[in-house]
Amino acid sequence: MSQHPTLAVARWTSAFLIAGTAAAHAQVAGAAGLGASLQRQGGGLWQSITRLEPAAKVTNPWVQLGGTASFVGGDRKAELESGSMDLVAQSPVWKRWRVSTSAQIERHEALRSFSNTGGNAEAALTYSVGGRGAWMGLGSERTARVAGSPFSNDADGLLRLGVWQQLGPVSLSLGTSKHQSREQTFHLIPDPASADTLFRGDSISAPAGSALRRWSDTQARVLWSFGRVALDGQIGVQSLDSVRTTTWGRATATVAMGNRMSFVGSFGTAPARAWMGVPGARFASLGVRVAPAALSRPAAPPHVLPAPSGFAIRSAERGMYTVTISVPAARTVEVSGDFNAWRPVSLRETRPDVWEATVPITPGTYHVNMRVNGASWIAPPGLSATTDDFSGTVGLLVVR
């Protein structure tokens, strides 16, 4: 029996996760956000909602595993509104090319008695040069039948294309995805005892038929970070069966108030996702986020390779020096040199977009390289570039 592509890619990715975690030291981060928002779904009324949003992330140069959830307050208890788990695994770079796989599982409780669980898996090829690049991905997307709904969606077939450009602290990306699904409809048997027949499972009988649906999403995104402030702007167009088109957009501002606390404000619109049982909405929110630097700001798209913008070294204590590298929206940063026999050293994000490590170095002249997100080793910015004994490019570091 042939294995479904989603399961095959997910199993391959899980194996990659185990191997990658064993090969490199993983960095773990957790966060929690608390805020209030105004939200309007469809043509309904505006509602005031209190949200608790925990998150966690585990990263190493090859793998990132993250999870988020959103709980809303009501009737003196918090109820799950949505949750997701994401996994991204990437190969080493070969001649500016790299292969990545990703998988996602998500659940939504959008309306009363109306929930859904779905997932997708994708294999992508990425090309990068300098501060720009492009990617193409193929995958599969599946959803379970919406609980209590007269519709069933079995989405299959996923194509993604995109380009990105890094301009100092600004990251620009443009991507599009094509989907198709077979939508199954059911006969309804009215239930006189229920005023909510549409969402009662016992009102559904045999399947009535199916229809092939196609939709596409095109999204442009701008990420900008400077000091304590980070801005995330997104705008997109969603088209269903090349007939119905919806435009959406959102903006998020994050202002750091300390090492682990920041204010987060956002507003905009969210597109409907009928195949997941999620209606469109308008929203505005303001909240507080308690998180380490790794989770304090919006993450860049997984295929974007951030470019370093600064490098510095300072004396820390006797025989020790602190290496500082500025890289916006990076997942991992490493440094290596002949000062430690070229053993990679993992830096930690001590402040948003600022990565540091303290290492033993004696005064002298050294060859140094760095890499971001497990990509190619490059000369750190601001250092004179030279050629090493293997005809590679390295940075020249003078320690006094």
- Domains with residue ranges and CATH for the chain: 5-295 (2.40.160.40), 310-399 (2.60.40.10)
25-67 residue pLDDT tens: 678 889 999 999 888 876 678 888 888 999 999 988 888 899 9
Mark out the alpha helices in the chain (DSSP H runs): 5-23
Number of CB atoms found within 10 A of residue 119's CB = 19
Number of CB atoms found within 10 A of residue 194's CB = 12
Q: Which pair of tokens denotes residue 254?
A: 């994050």
Number of CB atoms found within 10 A of residue 389's CB = 8
CA distances to 86, 91, 191, 219 from 9, rounded to whole Å, are 13, 14, 43, 25
Q: Is the pLDDT score of 78 beyond 60?
A: yes
Mean pLDDT for 140-144 is: 76
Q: Which pair of tokens denotes residue 64?
A: 């990132």
Pick from 327, 325, 303, 330: nearest CA to 313: 325
Contact 22, 344 (CB under 8 A): no
Pick from 283, 213, 268, 277: nearest CA to 244: 213
**pTM (2 decimals)?**
0.78
Residues 6+ apart with CB under 8 A from 11: none
334-361 residue pLDDT tens: 999 999 999 999 999 988 889 999 999 9
**Residue holding tokens 């090349």?**
242
Strand partners, 53: 33
Question: What gap in Å lies between CA 57 and CA 55, rounded to an integer?
Answer: 7
151-205 residue pLDDT tens: 445 556 678 899 999 887 888 999 998 877 665 554 444 444 433 333 334 443 4
Question: What gap in Å lies between CA 302 and CA 58, rounded to an integer?
Answer: 14
Contact 171, 329 (CB under 8 A): yes
Give the strand pairing for 320-326 and 354-360: antiparallel
290-333 residue pLDDT tens: 998 888 888 888 888 888 888 999 998 888 999 999 988 888 89
For 312, the enclosing helix (H) or strand (E) is strand 310-317
Q: Which pair of tokens denotes residue 164?
A: 């990105």
What is the 3-class SS of 219-248, one letter each residue? EEEEEEEECCEEEEEEEEEEEECCCEEEEE
Question: What gap in Å lies between CA 118 and CA 141, rounded to an integer?
Answer: 8
Question: What gap in Å lies between CA 393 and CA 154, rounded to an integer?
Answer: 50
Strands, sheet with 393-399, edge to edge from the N-terminal-most edge strand: 345-346, 333-337, 364-372, 393-399, 384-387
Question: What gap in Å lies between CA 354 and CA 325, rounded to an integer?
Answer: 6
3 or 87: whose pLDDT is higher? 87
